[in-house]
């Protein structure tokens, strides 16, 4: 059994540890030691280090069974053939041979490092496990190696056998003396191959190299945080043990070491002893000065192994390294967003709190960050500190200077992935990519036809493609203004476009195109029909018409709608289809002002004003302007419902009604409002919605004066005043003012869930719930907060969020006066006062004030655990338990102490920690 090992101690822990006797006494000074080797080392202080004089003449020392300290020389019969070294045991020779062969058979399973000797591996493993089996009986301190315990024992014995001849300083170990000598000589023989920096010892070099590699081999067993150096780990572990013995006399704050207290006290004294020789700036810490000096030297010693980018300090490298790993350990408790650094999280939290501590004294505007205030203040001062070295132009912001310098350097860092073209500015690249994506964000104010670029609308000097874009918009706007600038000189007629004028002029000049078959002259080349289809012998006047026709035989549909994914054979058909999504209606009736998306629809509409109804029903004599309307009408007489929904079995008279109905199951909403981007199932719903933007509400309530879009909506509204609820539930007798509300209610009794998600097969009672659920698959979040830029899937969720910024709380509790932002929160709160618990468990009759509490409770009976950890597969019944568990994988510590800002995994650990501060405050009092 090895001495001092905790693992070898007897299992009976009630017996106190045995203190070793000090049986070996020094004859010179009378000091006693527990081991003979310690006495021998101590004797060197009397006779001089490295000398055997005085030991030879003294044959023994006082003590029990004391023997001669010197031993006869040990025979070494085993010789190494490589280097002639001799060894006393054969096993020692075998171990030595591995130096020459390079053999390292013992591997650490934690970090993969290899070792020659099994005992060295055992010692190394203690770095990972934190095991320290060797204990000092004087002070109770533990060590991972026996040699470290022996060295430590000398501190109690006062033995410093190794003395520096330069300054007289003593050391307990020879390695400590050798390292100290290098300070006098200024020797720095260990050089870093990455940055060229030199160091006096190999251990300091190894620690420095870990900054380049990012290696952190020492892990905390409590929170799994990793460290570069074991001393950092030891300091960190004291935080878990709450060991902060050194306190500041000014503010009472506690620290791990006296050095930390000394640095902290400079905050109170204002002392800054470290001065930069270049600019005269002073710093409170030497580390801060070193980092500052790199700004003058341009040194960037910390290099990223992934991309080769260099940084001034290791903090910058660590932050950058997370861009490659994707690590974002810091989570916002309000919105759940993750950040790579704690400082980024603190900046983000200010969005939720609305904190803006930095105020401009000139205009009173407040800012969340000091850097934002600094940039803003330059507007008032006119300061432009960033100067271009080429042309001496000055800028208030550094990023503006960087963009300007690309004019001189010709640098174009923004590359289009589609065509490879490069650009100097990110905004120019964005405008260019719209050509590939077909995006046209700039709209005509009349009917909102879109164009690629805003600058092409404003810049009158556009040329080439840009000029064409501008002319397209101008030509389009002439439809609305009625402008016809191109006049025929023969008859005086005016036209919108120049090409239309050229085609018209051929009426006066004759027919320039002649058919070679029959000699007939034609006004238009397309009338000749010289292009023949080889499949069906049809002829076409233009080659483009022939190519479009051939797509019928090949089945080719090259034009795709970016909104809904439908394909079309012709570009014109695609344009007509896109007007469904954009709501554009360029064809206007001059009789009544009504607009249409297609020219054919306008022609049909004109028959209403003329009174033409060519199609008559033989059953009832009713007439219609279109044959399709007559066919639809005839089905009302026959009762025919041929269109059946495969999802729910419901039948419909028209296919259009079936298509509309199927959108309730799929959640599809193809009609988008161009004003607010809200989507609708039916075009009629879109038209009613657009009237709200235009302010068209012609139907007014006589009671309260409120206006509505249609008489049906007004009729429903008036039931609020009359209290009329004509729709009654046959099961429970509850009444409703709208038929739709009754249908939704009846599904609670029948259990019917007609709305099915096409992605995952989940069913819903209401189509509104299906639409919300559908956005979880698409990730669609069209509603953006103007304050913080956060996106939401529904407008109601956005309205609730906006109240965080405005602080609006319109719902007040009459019992205690507390206010709430939402009525549902007030209802839940009011049950605290009334004691109402309407939600009852059917299994055990336990009651709850909220439905979500009941749902969580019922999982005790059902055993359901819907929340599954993706890392380890463990399941949980509550989301809060699941969230706490996931923090063990992500190492997230969202709960922070308000006193010392120390983070914790759980709220319970934070409460235990806070007792330390409350105990300290009570002691101060």
Q: How many CB atoms lie within 10 A of CB 162?
A: 19
| High-pLDDT (> 90) share of the chain, % | 0
Mean pLDDT confidence for 545-559: 78
| High-pLDDT (> 70) share of the chain, % | 84
Token pair 């000096």 is at which residue? 293
Mean pLDDT confidence for 440-467: 48
Determine phi and psi for 764, rounding to 5 degrees.
-140, 155
Confidence band, pLDDT 50/70/90 cuts, at residue 920: low
b/e string for 842-874 if b means 16 or more Cβ within 10 A? eeeeeebbeeebbebbbeeeeeeeebeeeeeee
Cα dihedral value 219, 224, 228, 230, nearest 10: -40
Three-state SS for 320-336 is HHHHHHCCCCEECCCCC
Lowest mean pLDDT among 16-25, 587-596, 678-687: 16-25
Question: Is the pLDDT reported for residue 798 higher than 60?
Answer: yes
Average pLDDT over all residues of the chain: 77
pLDDT per position as a tens digit, 332-346? 888 888 887 777 888
Concatenate the DSSP letters of all residues of 649-672 into one string: --EESSHHHHHHHHHHHH----EE
**C-alpha distances out from residue 819 to 570, 806, 814, 822, Å:** 60, 14, 9, 9
Token pair 């026709």 is at which residue? 549
Tokens encoding 155: 């501190």
Task: Please report the pLDDT score of residue 54 as a whole number.
Answer: 41
Residue 38 CA to residue 152 CA, distance in Å, equals 12
CB 473 within 8 A of CB 451: yes
Return the bridge partners of 114, or none.
107
Return the bridge partners of 839, or none.
848
Residue 418 CA to residue 369 CA, distance in Å, equals 38
Confidence band, pLDDT 50/70/90 cuts, at residue 464: very low
Task: Please report the pLDDT score of residue 181 as a whole number.
Answer: 81
CB 561 within 8 A of CB 577: yes
CB 665 within 8 A of CB 647: yes
Task: Please report the pLDDT score of residue 97 as a whole number.
Answer: 83
Lowest mean pLDDT among 71-80, 98-107, 136-145: 71-80
Question: Is the pLDDT reported for residue 386 higher than 70?
Answer: yes
How far is Cα of residue 831 from the mean position of the Cα atoms in its chain?
A: 38
Question: Is the pLDDT reported for residue 844 higher than 80?
Answer: yes
CB 817 within 8 A of CB 835: no
Mean pLDDT confidence for 440-446: 64
In Å, the largest CA–CA distance within the chain is: 143
Confidence band, pLDDT 50/70/90 cuts, at residue 584: confident
CB 265 within 8 A of CB 284: no
Task: Please report the pLDDT score of residue 194 as a whole number.
Answer: 79
| Of 797, 814, 903, residue with least CA distance to 331 | 903
Task: Please report the pLDDT score of residue 56 as a whole number.
Answer: 39
From the number of C-beta atoms within 10 Å of its C-beta (0-12, 13-18, 19+), residue 541 rates as: middle
DSSP, collapsed to helix, strand or coil, labels residue 903 as strand
Question: Is the pLDDT reported for residue 74 higher than 70?
Answer: no
Question: Is the pLDDT reported for residue 81 higher than 70?
Answer: yes
Task: Please report the pLDDT score of residue 62 as a whole number.
Answer: 38
Task: Please report the pLDDT score of residue 654 as a whole number.
Answer: 78
Question: Is the pLDDT reported for residue 462 higher than 60?
Answer: no
Task: Please report the pLDDT score of residue 884 as a whole number.
Answer: 79
Which residues, in sequence order, are CB contacts of 229 under 8 Å at separation 6+?
Answer: 207, 218
Determine phi and psi for 252, rounding to 5 degrees.
80, 5
Question: Is the pLDDT reported for residue 2 higher than 70?
Answer: no
Lowest mean pLDDT among 360-369, 466-475, 910-919: 466-475
Question: Is the pLDDT reported for residue 71 higher than 70?
Answer: no
* Ramachandran assignment for 326, one of left (phi > 0), alpha (psi -120 to 50 degrees), beta (any other): left
Tokens encoding 517: 């078959």
Task: Please report the pLDDT score of residue 121 as a whole number.
Answer: 87
Task: Please report the pLDDT score of residue 327 as a whole number.
Answer: 79
pLDDT per position as a tens digit, 880-893? 788 778 877 877 77
Question: Is the pLDDT reported for residue 544 higher than 70?
Answer: no
Determine phi and psi for 299, rounding to 5 degrees.
-70, 135
Token pair 């020779």 is at which residue? 93
Confidence band, pLDDT 50/70/90 cuts, at residue 528: low
Confidence band, pLDDT 50/70/90 cuts, at residue 657: confident
Mean pLDDT confidence for 854-873: 86
DSSP, collapsed to helix, strand or coil, labels residue 48 as coil
Question: Is the pLDDT reported for residue 17 higher than 60?
Answer: no
Task: Please report the pLDDT score of residue 348 as a whole number.
Answer: 83
pLDDT per position as a tens digit, 703-733? 888 888 777 788 888 887 888 888 888 888 8
Q: How many CB atoms lie within 10 A of CB 421?
A: 13
- Higher-confidence residue of 256 and 444: namely 256
Task: Please report the pLDDT score of residue 60 as a whole number.
Answer: 37
**Which helix (H) or strand (E) element contains residue 218?**
strand 218-219
pTM (global) more than 0.75: no
Determine phi and psi for 377, rounding to 5 degrees.
-65, -25
Task: Supply angle C-alpha 412, 418, 421, rounded to 5.
Answer: 25
Lowest mean pLDDT among 8-12, 663-667, 753-757: 8-12
Question: Is the pLDDT reported for residue 510 higher than 70?
Answer: no
Mean pLDDT confidence for 347-375: 82
pLDDT per position as a tens digit, 469-483? 333 455 555 656 666
Confidence band, pLDDT 50/70/90 cuts, at residue 456: very low
Mean pLDDT confidence for 279-296: 84
Question: Is the pLDDT reported for residue 454 higher than 60?
Answer: no
Confidence band, pLDDT 50/70/90 cuts, at residue 520: low
Helices (H), 313-423: 314-325, 342-353, 370-381, 398-409
- Higher-confidence residue of 526 and 184: namely 184
Confidence band, pLDDT 50/70/90 cuts, at residue 159: confident
User: Whole-angstrom distance between the N-terminal and C-terminal Cα of the chain?
Assistant: 52
């Amino acid at each position: 059994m090895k001495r001092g090992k905790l693992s070898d101690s007897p299992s009976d822990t009630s017996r106190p540890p045995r203190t070793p006797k000090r049986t070996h006494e020094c004859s010179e000074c009378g000091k006693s030691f527990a081991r003979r080797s310690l006495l021998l080392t101590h004797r060197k202080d009397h006779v001089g280090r490295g000398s055997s004089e005085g030991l030879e003449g003294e044959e023994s020392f006082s003590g029990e069974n004391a023997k001669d300290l010197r031993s006869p020389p040990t025979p070494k019969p085993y010789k190494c053939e490589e280097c002639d070294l001799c060894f006393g045991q054969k096993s020692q020779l075998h171990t030595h041979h591995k130096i020459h062969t390079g053999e390292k058979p013992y591997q650490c399973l934690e970090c993969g490092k290899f070792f020659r000797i099994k005992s060295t591996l055992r010692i190394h493993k203690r770095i990972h496990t934190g095991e320290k089996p060797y204990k000092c009986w004087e002070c109770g301190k533990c060590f991972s190696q026996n040699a470290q315990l022996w060295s430590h024992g000398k501190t109690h014995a006062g033995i410093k056998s190794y003395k520096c001849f330069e300054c007289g300083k003593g050391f307990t170990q020879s390695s400590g003396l050798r390292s100290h000598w290098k300070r006098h000589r200024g020797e720095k023989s260990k050089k870093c191959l990455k940055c060229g920096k030199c160091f006096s010892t190999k251990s300091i070099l190894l620690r420095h190299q870990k900054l380049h590699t990012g290696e952190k081999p020492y892990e905390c067993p409590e929170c799994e945080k990793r460290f570069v150096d074991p001393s950092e780990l030891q300091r960190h572990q004291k935080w878990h043990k709450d060991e902060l013995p050194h306190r500041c006399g000014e503010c009472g704050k506690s620290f791990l070491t006296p050095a930390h207290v000394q640095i902290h006290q400079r905050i109170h004294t204002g002392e800054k002893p470290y001065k930069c020789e270049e600019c005269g700036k002073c710093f409170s810490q030497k580390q801060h000065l070193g980092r500052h000096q790199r700004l003058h030297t341009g040194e960037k010693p910390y290099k990223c192994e992934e991309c080769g980018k260099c940084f001034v300090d290791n903090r910058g490298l660590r932050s950058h390294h997370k861009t490659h790993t994707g690590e974002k350990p810091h989570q916002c408790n309000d919105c759940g967003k993750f950040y790579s650094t704690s400082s980024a999280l603190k900046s983000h939290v200010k969005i939720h709190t609305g904190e803006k501590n930095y105020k401009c004294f000139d205009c009173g505007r407040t800012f969340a960050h000091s850097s934002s205030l600094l940039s803003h203040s330059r507007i008032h001062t006119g300061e432009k500190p960033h100067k271009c070295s080429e042309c001496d132009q000055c800028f208030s912001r550094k990023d503006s200077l960087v963009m300007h310098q690309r004019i001189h350097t010709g640098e174009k860092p923004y590359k289009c992935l589609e065509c490879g073209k490069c650009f100097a500015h990110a905004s120019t690249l964005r405008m260019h990519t719209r050509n590939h994506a077909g995006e046209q964000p700039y709209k005509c104010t009349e009917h909102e036809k879109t164009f690629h670029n805003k600058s092409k609308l404003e810049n009158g000097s556009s040329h080439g493609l840009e000029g064409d874009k501008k002319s397209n918009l101008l030509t389009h706007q002439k439809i609305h203004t009625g402008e016809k600038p191109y006049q025929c000189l023969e008859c005086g007629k005016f036209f919108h476009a120049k090409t239309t004028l050229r085609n018209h002029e051929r009426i006066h000049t004759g027919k320039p195109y002649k058919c070679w078959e029959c000699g007939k002259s034609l006004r238009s080349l397309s009338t000749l029909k010289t292009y023949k289809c080889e499949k069906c012998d049809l002829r076409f006047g233009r080659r483009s018409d022939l190519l479009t026709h051939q797509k019928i035989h090949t089945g080719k549909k090259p034009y795709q709608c970016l909104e809904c994914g439908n394909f079309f054979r012709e570009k014109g058909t695609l344009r007509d289809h896109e007007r469904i999504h954009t709501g554009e209606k360029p064809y206007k009736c001059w009789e009544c002002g009504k607009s249409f998306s297609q020219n054919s629809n306008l022609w049909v509409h004109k028959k209403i004003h003329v009174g033409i109804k060519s199609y008559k029903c033989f059953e009832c004599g009713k007439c219609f302007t279109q044959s399709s309307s007559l066919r639809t009408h005839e089905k009302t007489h026959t009762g025919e419902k041929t269109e059946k929904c495969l999802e729910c079995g419901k039948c419909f008279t028209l296919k259009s009604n079936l298509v509309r109905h199927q959108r309730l199951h799929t959640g599809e909403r193809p009609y988008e409002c161009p004003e607010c981007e809200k989507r609708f199932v039916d075009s009629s719903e879109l038209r009613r919605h657009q009237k709200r933007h235009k302010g068209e509400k012609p139907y007014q309530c006589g009671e309260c004066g409120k206006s509505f879009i249609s008489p049906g909506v007004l009729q429903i509204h008036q039931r609020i005043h009359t209290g009329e609820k004509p729709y009654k539930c046959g099961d429970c007798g509850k009444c409703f003012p709208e038929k739709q509300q009754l249908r939704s209610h009846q599904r609670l009794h029948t259990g019917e869930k007609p709305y099915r998600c096409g992605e995952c097969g989940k069913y819903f009672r209401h189509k509104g719930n299906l639409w919300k659920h559908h956005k979880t698959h698409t990730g669609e979040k069209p509603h953006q907060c103007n304050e913080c830029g956060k996106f939401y899937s529904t407008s109601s969720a956005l309205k609730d969020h906006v109240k965080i910024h405005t602080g609006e709380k319109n719902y007040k509790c009459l019992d205690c006066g507390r206010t709430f932002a939402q009525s549902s929160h007030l209802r839940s709160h009011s049950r605290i006062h009334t004691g109402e618990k309407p939600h009852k468990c059917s299994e055990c009759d336990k009651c709850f004030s909220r439905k979500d509490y009941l749902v969580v409770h019922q999982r005790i009976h059902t055993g359901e655990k819907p929340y599954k950890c993706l890392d380890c597969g463990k399941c949980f019944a509550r989301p809060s338990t699941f969230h706490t568990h996931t923090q063990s994988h992500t190492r997230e510590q969202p709960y922070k102490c308000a006193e010392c800002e120390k983070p914790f995994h759980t709220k319970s650990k934070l409460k235990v920690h806070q007792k330390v501060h409350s105990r300290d405050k009570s002691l101060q009092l």
